[in-house]
Structure 1
Amino acid sequence: MVKKQILFLMGVSGSGKSTIGKLLADKLQFPFFDGDSFHPEANVKKMKEGHPLNDDDRQGWLEKLNEVGIENLSTGAVIVCSSLKQKYRTILGKNLENNHQFVYLEGSFELIDSRLRERKNHYMPAGLLQSQFDDLETPLDALTVSIDQTPDDIVNDIIEKL
């Protein structure tokens, strides 16, 4: 039995955060929140135009996702957010004490690039993937799960590690 906590699924765009997050939330019976849906319109427009977000662009968005986590402490929640840098993870975990866990969906550039090229109707262009890998500060305190397996196997791996 997994304790009620806030689970942040993190990784670069195309690592499967939304797919895995929904499956994990269903299996744990936690509410699911896709961080992408909390971006202000200016951020979405910037990414659609092929420009990476900077730290100032992300600040309010990360604070909002932290609020979502705090609001769902009693039920637990799965929140999907790239969380590429340690300072972002610090903002996300603020006032959550020991009631949150980052789960890093790890995969190679080549694997994720091939997935992004197949994806339709997403505002994150495949060309921005390199900027995400450049920004990624591999977490030392997260559960790390390889995405080179089926979604169900990834979810089972996460639950086993929790």
Structure 2
Amino acid sequence: MTRAIVVMGVSGAGKSTVGAALAARIGADFIDSDSLHPPANVKKMTAGTPLMDEDRWPWLQLVGAALAAESSNGTVVACSALKRVYRDAIRAMAPSTAFVLLNVATPVLRDRMTLRPGHFMPVSLLTSQLETLEPLEADEVGLVLNSDRGIEDAAERICGQLGSLHHKPAAKSA
């Protein structure tokens, strides 16, 4: 079974909630990569300024290090991982990482972000995230999942495909 999993997607896709539910189901450690952002990144996003690649590299190194750390339980990380190069940076440190891309309709994303109290990511940055998102490519280990049927359903469907995730490239799931 895959021991390092990134639940990825744009803000509001449900990365943290689905990732935590998945980790609980499989008995893995859970890390929300938002907690790994340097204060300067959080300050930029809070101000509505999109991060640049140079802002992301140190953060992605921390994400990769967290996934590469020895954990007998495995590790699930919620991380946007929007571009292929970001996922490559994570895989450079944790080569066996599998990615689960959560797809959600844009109006649902906007609603979720609006209803999310106290989060530093404003709705105004959603468009830039959607423009930046590069879907998983055929040679990347992972799956694409429509996560519009709820947290537990998404976690259950991911669990049902975990055994095969490590051995196949990205697959679409309904």
Residue 143 of structure 2: aligned partner: 143
1:101 equivalent to 2:76? Answer no
% identical aligned pairs? 38
Partners of 1:151 and 1:72 lie apart in 2 by 27
Partners of 2:29 and 2:150 lie apart in 1 by 22
Secondary structure of the residue that 2:13 maps to in structure 1?
A: coil
1:89 equivalent to 2:87? Answer yes
Partners of 2:15 and 2:67 lie apart in 1 by 17
The one-letter code matched in structure 2 to 1:62 is: L
Is the 8 Å Cα contact of residues 4 and 73 (structure 1) preserved in structure 2? no
1:155 equivalent to 2:155? Answer yes
Partners of 2:102 and 2:71 lie apart in 1 by 23
CA drift of 1:85 comes to: 0.1
Matches within 5 A, 1:33-44: 33-44=31-42
Residue 126 of structure 2: aligned partner: 129
Partners of 1:144 and 1:52 lie apart in 2 by 25
TM-score normalised per structure 2: 0.88
CA drift of 1:72 comes to: 3.2
Residue 21 of structure 1: aligned partner: 19
Aligned residue among 76, 79, 82 for 1:78: 76
Secondary structure of the residue that 1:94 maps to in structure 2?
A: helix
Residue 9 of structure 2: aligned partner: 11
The one-letter code matched in structure 1 to 2:160 is: E
Secondary structure of the residue that 1:75 maps to in structure 2?
A: coil
The one-letter code matched in structure 2 to 1:60 is: P
Is the 8 Å Cα contact of residues 6 and 73 (structure 1) preserved in structure 2? no
Secondary structure of the residue that 2:92 maps to in structure 1?
A: coil
Is the 8 Å Cα contact of residues 35 and 65 (structure 1) preserved in structure 2? yes
Deviation by residue 1:37-62 (Cα, 9 ceiling, x = unmatched): 00000000000000000000000000
How many residue pairs match? The answer is 159
Secondary structure of the residue that 1:124 maps to in structure 2?
A: coil
Secondary structure of the residue that 2:80 maps to in structure 1?
A: coil
